[in-house]
Structure 1
Amino acid sequence: MIFNGYNEGLADSIHEWLKEDVGSGDVTTQVTIPAGHESKGIIHAKESGIAAGIPVARLVFEIVDPTLVFKAYVQDGDSLVKGTVLAEVEGSTHSILTGERLALNLMQRLSGIATRTRQFVNELDGLSTRLVDTRKTTPGHRMLEKYAVRVGGGANHRFGLYDAVMIKDNHIKGAGGISAAVQRARAQIPHTMTIEVETENLEQVEEALSAGADIIMLDNMTPASMEEAVKRIKAKAPHVRVEASGNVSLTTVRGIAQSGVDIISVGRLTYSFNSLDISLDLNGKKEG
């Protein structure tokens, strides 16, 4: 799924999020700022990071008030330093302040994810291993959060339970083993769908290989076990992709990649990050 700056589903979500925040109206703005007052809001970074969510913020302000003029000075994926002006929004002060919190919340979270992702990507510099996310996303925000991962230089794993077969430990237990799970899946899915099997040891790796898995995940294995698993997989089935997952950090990700795995999935890209500090300040106020 590619975010193109305007998405009907996203617009519907923004309407709901505005209802949650604004309710019957921004009472503070209504009682303190005269009707017709106009301002320019300057959106700027208060720390370094990677920009993400500029088109989302634009859409928030467009929905709040189509007469607002939004001008972006950076693009998603650009590097920011403290003080960088990301955008300006000009027009009704009431409208700017009504949309401010939602626009900033989304930009801060998405920029935080993009920044975190870029840190991991930088650790893999010079290696061919691909960094991907997981389904450990905020409910209702998966499309945006996975978009932010791409902005940061990562790639996306499956978007949901519907777009690939991923046989994990509980599926293996329920099916009665890896071979049985893969066999049942292969008999029912279309030829365009892949089967991934999560393994925890070399014995399971061998079983997944024999069963004909398309992707084999090495879950929480030691570096030595991962290296041996990759060697066995590539010797017997070079076309099978190998994914590593589990407790991946900035200090361990490069070593994991050097074991020869094709993919590293990192849940903390979307569940353990710091939102980037971004603020909006009114400037050049004038009476309407």
Structure 2
Amino acid sequence: MREINEQAIQLVAEKAQVIRQDIIKMLGEAGSGHTGGSLSAADIVACLYFWEMHIDPARPQWEERDRFVLSKGHAAPVLYAALAEKGFFPKAELARLRKIGSPLQGHPDMRKVSGVEASTGSLGQGISWATGMALAARIDSRDYRVYTLLGDGELEEGLVWEAVMAAGHQRLDQLVAIVDYNGLQIDGPLGEVLSPEPIADKFRAFNWQTLEINGHDYREIMQALSSARQTKGRPTAIVARTIKGRGCSFMENRAEWHGVAPNREQVEEALSELR
């Protein structure tokens, strides 16, 4: 079992800061992309890649590896930044985000990017894919775990709840779904667009262990992931309260930063806050 200590927390915090810096740099260079939801998920993704998951960049197809599926595929920058920092591909590639001929497009492509487990983008499909992976692990008698990260606006998709129902029914305890609950989507506040509340209660109703945490508190994230590992007979949902645009004061809690990239001056301002 992974140990939760100050050294582990410090490492993850440092990696999350690097991931945020790389998100800003690559989006600034690309001139387009999804900033707010990439930044809100950085702490969660850092905990997964630099503390929780059993993965090996030298063996991206290792059969016993844990799997991560970015169900909110538009937040690809946070995934690319983590994969590059982990060593799946050179960090220089990040500067080619969304460029013609680059493998790093606006949504992740498993055929082109080492470490990407699923080509996602159409919301709701990622958790469905992850459910299938977890079921395959059971059928094949393998111990790997499957993690998927959803946006809160994504929960408005009916396909999400079909997968949640199936995973609960199948008691897929190797599956962990994390909701990046920043309360904002591209059109505005979640409650004004189409509220999926009560989120936690819905997961519980479908036989999921459900934990509600601060998605920027590393210890809480780690404790939730540890609880998921110890839980048998049902999947785990982690509803993580986050701040859209986390780390950049002029972006935080502003829906307009959902799908907008920073300009050169904003890049410098953001990086000055993230140093």
| Both proteins in one fold, TM over 0.5 | no
Identify, as 1 or 2, the structure richer in helix. 2
Max radius of gyration: which structure? 1
